[in-house]
Amino acid sequence: MKKALLIFNLRSGKGSISQKIGEIVDLLGKNDYEVTARSTRGREDATEVVAKRAKEFDLIVCSGGDGTLNETVTGMMKSGARVPIGYIPTGSTNDFASSLGLPRGIMKSAEVAVTGTPFSCDMGEFNGKTFVYAAAFGLFSDISYRTKQEVKNAIGHAAYLLESSKEFSTIPFGVYPSIGLSVSVNGEEFEDTFVYGMITNSSSIGGIKDITGKDVKMDDGLLEVTLVRRPKNQFLFGEIVATLTNLVPESKYIYTCKAKEITLRAKEPVSWTLDGEFGGEWEEMTIRCIEHAVEINVGRQKQA
């Protein structure tokens, strides 16, 4: 028989995966897999397990939020193996799952995870660390890891919107971040002051579709770069938000491009978020795309 590793995060979402483990194991068994099941036991546990044991399996199915997927992908890349990954999203926002076109509902996504077609997906690398879909800095970028898990479980994606609106209403415009950066990308070099930035490989960020453009391809060897310049007043910040949420077509305060690699330099350490988790503070950042880094099972819609 083929062998499958099922690794799941019981804290993700509302813990609903716990009621479906038996059905998922049964689904794997019906598809001729001998199953090893394991609940994650803390941060980076999935990375450690997959890095050590990936070569023992024909399929690795992970269930949790974007952070659990990040750990699984990181472990796969460390293992040196190329085993298909099936993803059953149970997080609060599930941006990457949305971009992959995975169906909603645990068992519907489990069916794709087990029987889907492998899709060679790009990944990002941030100063040697793997990220699946987003590296971000600046205003609101730390909302996802500052929001308590209990709040996420209770109200899902609305938790992020709630925390963002609270922060927006309590921070005076005069103390918005002013992050001075030297940018080197696609042979171009420039300096400016920014309030926010994200380098992504996803069509959905924070639950907002097409925030990085409508032509995002997750296997083209390129990342989407979005850098938001510091506006001169609060009114112009409203223009920026309207552009990012697709209410108006463009703003001169938003720099965008596609790139295989980008280097950013700052005079002071800048805090970063990688896939919704704290990614450290850095003065120099090199971010690049790792083309076709892993295989993730998807349905027919994504393949089309």
- Domains located in the chain, CATH noted: 2-122+294-303 (3.40.50.10330), 130-291 (2.60.200.40)
Tell me what pLDDT residue 166 has: 47
Closest CA to 7 of 72, 57, 101: 72
- Please work out, in degrees rounded to the nearest 5, the angle formed at the alpha carbon of residue 224 by the alpha carbons of 144 and 194: 65
DSSP-derived secondary structure letter, 103: P
**Which helix (DSSP H) or strand (DSSP E) does residue 229 occupy?**
strand 223-229
- Mean pLDDT per 10-residue interval, the chain, length 304 residues: 93 74 96 96 92 97 90 96 95 79 92 96 96 85 48 42 46 68 96 90 70 80 91 66 59 87 96 88 97 93 49
Contacts of 36 (CB under 8 A, 6+ apart): 3, 4, 5, 6, 57
Could you tell me which residues are beta bridge partners of residue 5?
Answer: 36, 60
Q: Nearest 10 degrees: CA dihedral of 212, 140, 198, 112?
A: -60
Tell me what pLDDT residue 145 has: 40
CA atoms within 13 A on the CB side of 235: 0
Contacts of 25 (CB under 8 A, 6+ apart): 6, 35, 37
Tell me what pLDDT residue 219 has: 95
Tell me what pLDDT residue 96 has: 85
Other C-beta atoms lying within 10 Å of the C-beta of residue 146: 11
Tell me what pLDDT residue 147 has: 45
* Amino acid identity, position 109: S
Q: Is 280 helix (H, G, I), strand (E, B) or coil?
A: strand
Q: Is 98 helix (H, G, I), strand (E, B) or coil?
A: helix
Q: Is 255 helix (H, G, I), strand (E, B) or coil?
A: strand
Which position has the token pair 């971010």? 287
In terms of pTM, does the model score above 0.85? no
